[in-house]
Amino acid sequence: MQTDEIAPRRVARSAADGFTRPHGAAKIVIVQQFTLEYWKDDGWYVGRLKEMPAVMSQGETLEELQAMIRDAYHLMVEDAAESAFVPKEKQELSISL
C-alpha cells in the first residue's frame, strides 16, 4: 500500500486581503502532518488518515482525494470543538493503557 504525507490546509491572510494585525502581533500557523493511506476502488481513489482512521473520503484523482480528506478533517475537528462540553469542576486521573 502506498502512502503520502499530507498536511491540513491553513489559509494565511495578509493586509493585501483586507486583514490587518495590530503592530507587533505575530501570526502563528500550526501545520500538523498526517499519513494518507489510499487505494483504488472501482476507479476511485479512496483513503483515510492513518492517525485518525475515522477521517475517510474519496476522489476521482489523488489530488481531489487529498482535498476531500482535508475538508473531512476540518469538518470533524470543527464538529468536535462545537460539541465538546467540559464542566468547570473536573478531576484528572493518570491511567496506564
pLDDT in tens, 31-56: 889 999 999 999 999 999 999 999 99
CA-to-CA distance for 16 and 20, rounded, in angstroms? Answer: 9
β-partners of residue 59 are: 45
Residue with cell 501570526: 27
Given this model, what pLDDT does residue 48 score? Answer: 97
Given this model, what pLDDT does residue 52 score? Answer: 94
Q: What's the rounded mean pLDDT across residues 65-72?
A: 97
What is this structure's pTM?
Answer: 0.59
CA-to-CA distance for 97 and 91, rounded, in angstroms? Answer: 19
Average pLDDT over the chain, rounded to whole? 81
| pLDDT above 90: residue 19 | no
Closest residue by Cα to residue 4 from 60, 54, 67: 67
Indicate the domain borders of the chain: 32-77
